[in-house]
Chains A and B, each alone.
Chain A
Amino acid sequence: MAAQSLTRRGILGGTAAGLAAAPLIGRTAPSAQESPSPAPGPVRTPEMQDIVLQVNGRRIQLTVEPRTSLLDALREQAGLTGTKKGCDRGSCGACTVHIDGRRVVSCLTLAVRCQGRAVTTIEGLAVGEELHPVQAAILHHDAFQCGYCTPGQIMSAAALIEEGHAGSPDEIREWMSGNICRCGAYPNIVAAIQDASVQG
């Protein structure tokens, strides 16, 4: 049904997925031809460079300015908006992704320096329809309120478990210190990570 494809981004962006829910507010759904075209890429300047990234197992080719962060390249060019921009200064962790299996903040990573690297974002964590244990545990423990920091929390937690730092609630708190939650959902986040570490 329509709700299946109803996404927040779809509504905000006015894409076909969002408009598919239009009957709910008494409008007719658009035809396929009315689907908006992808966002145009940035205007090409001499400094721009072509790069190839392996994002979530897929080869992605992008043309970026040297100053483009990996975060902006993912969100604005690759259309992967699950990675969030919080502070854009490395202080909040909302933009956490994995590069070659290690967690980093994508806001302080230049996309041009990621040539050929394997990037995993929140969109690539689940295996098909099966959620990553951290994703499932975050849902089960209701470990968020507004949800804005959640993708970064999940990416950080997945790496933390791989690193072997989920030994105790104190250890989890210390090794999650790079991810700030303004809603203060920390107790449930820590519980979810503990839970996921046992299951994983």
Chain B
Amino acid sequence: MQSFTISRPGTLDAATAATAAPDTAFIAGGTDLLQLMKQEVARPTRLVDLDGLLPDAVEVLPDGVRIGALALMANVAAHPEVQRNYRAVSEALLSAASPQIRNMGTIGGNLLQRTRCNYFRDPGFAACNKREPGSGCAAIRGENRLLGVLGTSRACIATHPSDLPVALAALDASLELRGPNGARRTVALADFYRLPGDTPHIETALQPGEVIVAVLVPASAGARRSCYVKLRDRASFEFALVSCAAAVDLQRATIREARLALGGVAPKPWRLPQVEAALQGRPADAGTFADAAMHASEGAQPASQNGFKVKLIQRAVLRALETTAAA
């Protein structure tokens, strides 16, 4: 890891002002940033410590929860209100990383985790448009079994690795952001992540010096009946091959509304409007679920080694629907 300085500004204003200097990065939990720095994928010369400058609690509001950006993954997963009424959020967090990492990683940082594409993570490979814009993509013709099948581009087939945003996408969460001049804005999670197109190095709507302050998750009947299903190469401490968050609002045995999102298959949490449409107003039974799940991989464009994800997506969706119906 190359040398750097670290500052601990007393205020958020001072922290965001400090990031105007070149090669500066915020550090929160540090679990991803320090890996990237050790591998020299990220080479900041200045770190600005956010510790103590952003909220770290779960606030229970009349119409939802507000989760501070510096809340630890483990604390949010174990929060009674989150466990009770936002089950997919708790399950997604508990399926992520390891107990040690969940004691360190923050909610804001988890939303900004960089892709686990090995070509991105290894500067020994020259070609990675995300790491070095314009350098090409080694993954498209390389080892791409773990990579994306939806929303990818000719420039990048990397996936977003985090579990939490998949659950947040299904629960229609939004993010509270704060810019360098103190300007606040709220962005729907659905609009926060960018598709790669020709500029895969631009991943989110965050502007320079802007930080995530909190995540707002609205309460809903669907959120109360939600789940997160994660399929992976080993039982635990592994990234998703395919994951699915589902939030289903049932009235008796009829689906009033269903919201679903996929992880592990796209550059951003991937909502499934066509599946949701196939569920709305239908009886919550095996036939409806099977029909709807067939739509889940529409538009998939697998690479040479990840064609198996097309079928696995449908099965993850089916499992998630069955799980919510049984809850």
Interface residues of A (CB under 8 A from B): 45, 47, 65-67, 69, 88-90, 93, 96, 102-105, 108-110, 112-113, 156, 159-160, 163, 165, 173-175, 177-179
Contact = CB atoms under 8 A, between A and B. Distances in A.
A88 B103 contact: no
Contacts of B104: 104-105, 108-109
B81 interface: no
B35 interface: yes
A110 B6 contact: yes
Given A173-B236, A178-B237, A66 B4 contact: yes
A177 B103 contact: no
29 contacts: A47-B4, A47-B5, A66-B5, A66-B47, A67-B3, A67-B4, A88-B38, A89-B35, A89-B38, A90-B34, A102-B103, A103-B103, A108-B31, A108-B104, A110-B6, A110-B27, A110-B30, A156-B99, A165-B99, A173-B236, A174-B235, A175-B99, A177-B98, A177-B99, A177-B236, A177-B237, A178-B98, A178-B101, A178-B237
B21 to A, nearest CB: 15
A132 B28 CA distance: 33
Contacts of B5: 47, 66
Contacts of B39: 89
Contacts of B249: none
A89 B40 CA distance: 12
> Which are the 5 A-B pairs with shortest beta-carbon distances?
A178-B98, A177-B236, A177-B237, A66-B6, A178-B100
B3 A93 contact: no
Contact of A90 (B6, B31, B37, B47): B31
A165 B235 CA distance: 17
A167 B5 CA distance: 44
Given A47-B5, A113-B51, A174-B236, A156 B30 contact: no
